[in-house]
Amino acid sequence: EPEVTQTPSHQVTQMGQEVILRCVPISNHLYFYWYRQILGQKVEFLVSFYNNEISEKSEIFDDQFSVERPDGSNFTLKIRSTKLEDSAMYFCASRKDRELYSNQPQHFGDGTRLSIL
Closer Cβ to another protein, 18 or 56, answer by number: 56
List residues bridging with 44 in a β-sheet.
36
Q: What are phi and psi of 70, to 5 degrees?
A: -70, -25
User: Smallest gap, in angstroms, from Cβ of residue 106 to another protein?
Assistant: 6
If binding is defined by CB under 8 A, does position 55 make contact with another protein?
Answer: yes
For residue 16, the minimal CB distance to another protein (Å) is 27
Chain residues 77-116 in contact with another protein, contact rule CB under 8 A: 89, 91, 93, 95, 98, 103-111, 113
Q: Provide the 10 A C-beta neighbour count for residue 28.
A: 9
